Amino acid sequence: MKDQFLLTPDITFLNHGSFGACPKVVFENYRYWQLEFEKEPVYFIQKRLNDLLRHSRQMLGDFVGCEANDLFFTPNPSTAINTVMRSMKLEPGDEILSTNLEYGAMDRMWNFYCRKNGTRYVQQPIELPLTSKEHFLEQFWKGYSERTKVVFISHITSSTALILPVQEIVEKARSLGLITIVDGAHVPGHIDLNITALDCDYYTGAVHKWLLSPKGCSFLYARKEVQDGLDPLIVSWGYDSDFPGESRFIDYHEYNGTRDFSPYLTVPELFEFREANNWVEQTAASKALIREWYPKFCELLNTQPICPVTEEFLGQMCSIPVNTPDEFKLKDTLYDRFGIQIPVTKHGDKNWIRLSLQPYNTIDDIQTFYQALQQLKEEGELLIT
């Protein structure tokens, strides 16, 4: 499969999770749309763009389980969640309940909001390893108080690569009357998703990670009941529109000035790629490899998986706790000496190596990584086991 991607062949690429990787045919389609735009920009924007975006939104909505007009495209999940944050009207002392496992950019965003508004971002500590879904839920809800107004939670966490029980969290949060915001950056194309069934207020997902679009394609979903309260992050032509479309929500949010819309227009092509390459079956094999190798890597580094090694908690990624004096050096060494691209991150007081597997990865890639760790372990400087 690697031939079908643009990835350089001389690097063992085990980091799909950070920014995704785009198949050649999807990237060609992206360039095609860029050219179409440049050939006749005025006609493209005025006569073609709306229908093309609607078609992409329809396909994406069908895939993630919501109506086409309940989501709009954003360049990335940060833009999506910033849109929600900028419309949030909390009182000083109110609390946003989250975990200590969230993505750093989102933590920064909520810290920004709280400093400006006198609210509290409660990052409930989650003790690892998780032993069960109930174990997580019990720890999470300990952070609830009578001032909690919002729940913000990752569907799949970043450094720790854990699938969290968002269905149960949203259900309880809604029964408590809380606003529910789910960061599903890693979810579309990775694990099954039905946003309508999940019934949260807001959901963001990246298309350019596991759903294979070129960079700059994500979305924000908002439940119908909250759409009127969501201000556009960028106020543009869709506000008080001269030519209102079928949805005020889409008018407000989708067009925010002149820019390249091409990543959004590749959605039909990427579904074709998935179909033509039996992507669901192929990624099921990648998931099985994660479950097979996660315990082996942990054993090699004298550590433990941070969750039960099951489909409930793991998709195409796993995070191996690693004891190293210098996470940056370990990452650079894996790249410079062994040609392995894999993230080594510090989150809280722990370091993690996060392994991602896509169908373009082979057993050889996994073995290359295993042998590199084995060698570093023998050398005893970067890995303390």
Ligand X SMILES: Cc1ncc(COP(=O)(O)O)c(C=O)c1O
How far apart are the C-alpha atoms of 356 and 106, rounded to whole Å?
22
With CB under 6 A as the contact rule, the residue among 105, 137, 226, 309 that binds ligand X is 105
The two beta strands, 71-74 and 12-13, are: unpaired
* Cβ(372)–Cβ(338) below 8 Å: yes
**Shortest spacing between CB 314 and ligand X, in angstroms:** 15
Q: Smallest Cα–Cα separation from 210: which of 11, 55, 358, 380?
A: 358
* Cβ(274)–Cβ(283) below 8 Å: no
**Shortest spacing between CB 185 and ligand X, in angstroms:** 3
**Shortest spacing between CB 177 and ligand X, in angstroms:** 25
Of 251 and 321, which CB lies nearer to ligand X in the complex structure? 321
The 172-201 contact track toward ligand X, x by CB under 6 A, reads -----------x-xx---------------
With CB under 6 A as the contact rule, the residue among 5, 103, 252, 255 that binds ligand X is 103
Sheet containing 344-347: give its strands across. Answer: 317-322, 350-356, 344-347
How far apart are the C-alpha atoms of 144 and 173, rounded to whole Å?
10
Question: Element (H or E) spanning 354, and its range?
Answer: strand 350-356
Of 19 and 328, which CB lies nearer to ligand X in the complex structure? 19
Of 157 and 247, which CB lies nearer to ligand X in the complex structure? 157
With CB under 6 A as the contact rule, the residue among 123, 154, 227, 247 that binds ligand X is 154
* Cβ(87)–Cβ(229) below 8 Å: yes
**Identity of the amino acid at 342:** I
Of 37 and 136, which CB lies nearer to ligand X in the complex structure? 136
DSSP state of 322: E
Of 204 and 247, which CB lies nearer to ligand X in the complex structure? 204
CA dihedral (144, 146, 148, 149) in degrees, to 10, reads 140
How far apart are the C-alpha atoms of 347 and 160, rounded to whole Å?
8
Q: Is 78 in the site for ligand X (CB under 6 A)?
A: yes
Segment near ligand X (CB under 6 A), from 103-111, 143-151, 195-203, 270-278? 103-111
Q: Is 347 in the site for ligand X (CB under 6 A)?
A: no
The two beta strands, 12-13 and 340-341, are: parallel
**Shortest spacing between CB 98 and ligand X, in angstroms:** 11
* Cβ(155)–Cβ(184) below 8 Å: yes
Of 200 and 372, which CB lies nearer to ligand X in the complex structure? 200
Q: Smallest Cα–Cα separation from 14: which of 342, 351, 282?
A: 342
Q: Smallest Cα–Cα separation from 112: which of 103, 121, 101, 122?
A: 121
With CB under 6 A as the contact rule, the residue among 15, 29, 69, 76 that binds ligand X is 76
DSSP state of 196: H
With CB under 6 A as the contact rule, the residue among 15, 99, 119, 158 that binds ligand X is 158
Binders in 17-36 for ligand X, by CB under 6 A:
18
Strand partners, 344: 353
Q: What is the DSSP string of 81-92?
A: HHHHHHH--PPT
Task: Take residue 377 and report the two structure tokens written for it.
Answer: 């372990």
Segment near ligand X (CB under 6 A), from 26-34, 52-60, 101-109, 111-119? 101-109
**Shortest spacing between CB 213 and ligand X, in angstroms:** 13
User: How many residues sit close enough to ligand X to count as binding (CB under 6 A)?
Assistant: 12
Cα angle: 256, vertex 257, 259; to 5 degrees:
105
Of 128 and 383, which CB lies nearer to ligand X in the complex structure? 128
Q: Is 355 in the site for ligand X (CB under 6 A)?
A: no
**Shortest spacing between CB 312 and ligand X, in angstroms:** 18
The 268-307 contact track toward ligand X, x by CB under 6 A, reads ----------------------------------------
**Shortest spacing between CB 78 and ligand X, in angstroms:** 3
Of 155 and 376, which CB lies nearer to ligand X in the complex structure? 155
Please report, as ranges, the residues that interact with ligand X according to CB under 6 A: 18, 76-78, 103, 105-106, 154, 158, 183, 185-186
